[in-house]
Structure 1
Amino acid sequence: MISTILHLSEGLAVRALVAGQGTPVLLIHGVGLCAEAWAPQFDAFAADHRVIAVDMPGHGASDRLPGTPVLADFVAWAAQVIMALDCGPVAVVGHSMGALIATGLAVEHPQLVSCAALLNPVYQRSAAARAAVMERAAQIAAADFDPEAPLDRWFDPEEGELRMLTSQWLRQNSPEGYGAAYRAFAAGDSVYAGRIAQISCPLLALTGANDLNSTPAMATALADAAPFGRAVIIDGHRHMVHLTAPDVVSQELRNWLVPAEVSS
C-alpha cells in the first residue's frame, strides 16, 4: 500500500492510499474517519483490483474545501479525484457520508462510475432524525461535542478494540474539517433522494440490521428506487459494518462488482 498526495485543479491536496492492479475501486469513508478505515477491504481486494482509499476533505492529510461546503461540493471534489487518478470509470464504495458522495457521483457523473456501493447510507431521514443530526452538527460547529458519543451508536460492547481504533481516528481530525463535513452530511440525505431512479449502474445498498441511523428500511427503499439496486442487511451489526463484519461485507462487494466487470 502506497500513500500518495494528489493535487486537484484548484490546488487542493488529497491524500490517497493505493494498492494493487486491475479494476479500479475507489473507497470514500464517513465523517470523522480516514482512509485507513478501509484496511479490511484493502486486504480483500488489492490482490486483483486497483484499490484507492482517499481521505475526505478536511480529514487526515486532505485539504479542506473552501467556504461552507455542501454535499454537491464534496461530490464535485470526488469527481475531480477520479479525473486526477485518470482511472475512470471506477467502482465507488462509500460509507455513511461517503455513501452520499457516491450517490451524487452516480447521479451527476455517470461516465465516471461503473457501479456504486452504499454502505450504511442515510436516505430520506424522518423529521425527528433530521433534527437530531442537525443538532449534532451545531454542537460540532460550536466545539461542544463529545467525540466518543457516536461510538456508542456504532459499536457493540464486545467490539472494544475497533471502538478504540475508531476513537483515535475521530480525535485526529481538525474540528473545522470534521464540522464542515458533518454539516454537509446533516443536510445531505435528501439532496439526491429524488434522483435515484437516474442511476443506471449496479447499485448496492448495505447496512447493519442494528444500525439505528442508517436503517435497514432506508437501504431497502434506496435500492428499490434504483433501476439496478439491491439491498443487503447484515444481521447483528451496526454502523461500522465494514469493520465489524469485514468478510461478509467483502463477499457482498465481490458479488456487486461482478456485473460491472463482466459488462466492461
Structure 2
Amino acid sequence: MSYDPIDHDFERGQANRRQILGDAWVDRSLSNATDFNAEFQNLITRFAWNDIWGRPGLDHKSRRIIVLATTAALSRWEEFELHTRAALLGDAGNRLTPDELKEVLMQVAIYAGVPAANTAFSHAQKILREIGPQIGYAPTPTAPAAVSHPGIGRQARSAGKPSLHYTVREPRNGKTPRHTVVLSHALGCDLSMWDSLANQLAADCRVIAYDQRGHGSSDAPAGLYSMAELADDAASLLRQLDSGPVVWIGLSMGGMAGQELALRHPALVNALVLANTTSSYPEAARAVWRQRMDTVQAQGMEAIADAVMARYFHDAYRASHAASVARFRQRLVSSDVDGYIGCCHAVGAMETTERLSNITVPTLVIAGELDQGTPLAMTQTLAERIPQARLAVLKDASHLSAIEQPQAFAELASGFLLSL
C-alpha cells in the first residue's frame, strides 16, 4: 500500500487562495504562521479555500460577492478590506469593477442595514483612492442630488407644449455612447414597457425613452392628433436634448411615429427598428379605429380593456403571465381618455405607404408570428418598400412582441445595432 505525502485538500485550497487573494498576501500569511496558529491556517486553507471555494457550483466572482456582503453585514472590516482589495485587483475573469462593488454595497444597505453599508462604503472608498491608478479608476466628486437610479435613468420633462416626460440612461461603461437609441412605446402603454431593453442597451448606448403625448406623465392636449404631430413632438424633444442622429426603436404606434420622423426630420434618424407596426390600414380597419374612439368616448377605457389585451397578448401568454397582463391592463384603463382618443385618431389615419421609398436609413422590421393587430402582411409591406429594410419574424409573439419575447427581441435589436 503506497502513501502519498501530499495533502491534496491543502494544496488545492492553497491554489484557490492564491488565485483569489494573490501570492503576496498568501506568502505573507504563511510566513507569519507559528506553532500557535499554523493549525488554524491549515484548517481554513482546507475547509474554506478547498471545500467551499473549490466547489464548481458558483464561479469565483459570485463567491467574492458573497464574502463581501457577509463580511460587511457582520462588520468584519479586516476581512472586508482584504477581499475588497483582492476583488478589485483580481484576475480578469473574476474581478469586480468599482460599479459592481457599489452594487454589492447598495444591496447590503437593504439586507444588512444602512450603518453596515455606510462603513463598508467608507472602507471601499479608501481602497479605491489607494489602488485607483492601478485599475484605471478615479473617484469623481458628484452631488447626491444629481444622481439617478441606473435602472430608470434621469427623468425630466421637455419644454414647450405638449410637454413630454422622458428618461435618459447614459452608458454604464462610462465611455462615449456607441449609439443614441430612442425607445417609443405602443398605444395605451408608457415608457416603462421598455425598461428591460433600455437597461440592456444602456450598457454602451445612451438610451432615451419617453411618454408620447396623451400617455403616462406627458401632456394630453385636447383634440385629435395626427402622426405628423407625434413625430414633430419627438423631433422637438431630440433637438432639446441635442441628441444628434438616433437609432429609433418603436413598437406599434411608436413604429409609426418613427416612420414619420424619418420622413419629416431625416437628419435626426440614423436607423430604424419598426416593430409590430404598419404604414397604413385598409378602410375596414379604419372603421374599427373610429368605433373604438366612439366606445371610449361613451363608456370609458374599461369598455375596451379586455379586447385590447386579447390583441396585445396571445392566449398562452395571458394564461401564463397573468400578472404582466394585469399590469398592462391597469396602464391602459388609467390612461387619459382624451389623450387615448387623440392617439387612436393618429394611428387609425396612419398613411406612409407611398412615401416609404423615401426612408433611406438601415431599417429592421420586426413582426410577431401571432400578431392580429398588425399582421405579417403589413410588416412585409414595410420591409419591401423601405430600400434598406430587412424583416425578422418572432415566433410565439403577438402584438407586444417586446414583452412576450423580451430576450429574442433584445437579441434582434442588439444585433442590428452592432451591424450599424
Residue in structure 1 matched with residue 271 of structure 2 by the alignment: 115
Deviation sequence 1:204-227 (CA, Å, 0-9, x none): 111211001211111111111011
Matched AA of 1:154? Y
2:167 is aligned, of 8, 12, 17, to: 17
Q: How many residues align?
A: 257
Give the Cα separation in 2 of the matches to 1:78 and 1:143. Answer: 31
Contact 1:93–1:99 (Cα < 8 Å) also in 2: yes
Give the Cα separation in 2 of the matches to 1:3 and 1:31. Answer: 23
Contact 2:224–2:343 (Cα < 8 Å) also in 1: no
Matched AA of 1:40? S
Give the Cα separation in 2 of the matches to 1:217 and 1:11. Answer: 36
Residue in structure 1 matched with residue 184 of structure 2 by the alignment: 28
Residue in structure 1 matched with residue 374 of structure 2 by the alignment: 214
The offset of 1:152, in angstroms, is 1.2
Structure 2 residue runs without a partner (length 5+): 1-151, 172-176
Residue in structure 2 matched with residue 94 of structure 1 by the alignment: 250
Contact 1:143–1:175 (Cα < 8 Å) also in 2: no
Identity across the alignment (%) = 28
Give the Cα separation in 2 of the matches to 1:79 and 1:242. Answer: 24
Residue in structure 2 matched with residue 69 of structure 1 by the alignment: 225
Deviation sequence 1:122-145 (CA, Å, 0-9, x none): 233233222222211222233453
Matched, 1:246 2:406: yes
Matched, 1:6 2:157: yes
Residue in structure 1 matched with residue 415 of structure 2 by the alignment: 255
2:199 is aligned, of 37, 43, 58, to: 43
Residue in structure 1 matched with residue 117 of structure 2 by the alignment: none
Relative contact order, CA 8 A, sep 6+: which one is greater? 1
1:148 is aligned, of 303, 306, 310, to: 306
Structure 1 residue runs without a partner (length 5+): none
Structure having the higher strand fraction is 1
- Aligned residue for 1:237, secondary structure, equals coil
Deviation sequence 1:15-57 (CA, Å, 0-9, x none): 1122132111001101110110101212321111111110110
Give the Cα separation in 1 of the matches to 2:197 and 2:383. Answer: 22
Structure having the higher helix fraction is 2
RMSD: 1.6
Residue in structure 1 matched with residue 323 of structure 2 by the alignment: 161
Matched AA of 1:161? A
The offset of 1:88, in angstroms, is 1.8
Structural mapping, 1:136-215, within 5 Å: 136-144=292-300, 145-155=303-313, 156=315, 157-188=319-350, 190=351, 192-215=352-375
Matched AA of 1:150? V
The offset of 1:108, in angstroms, is 1.1
Which structure is larger by alpha-carbon Rg, 1 or 2?
2
- Aligned residue for 2:294, secondary structure, equals helix
Matched AA of 1:219? T
> Structure 1 segments of 4 or more deviating over 4 A?
none
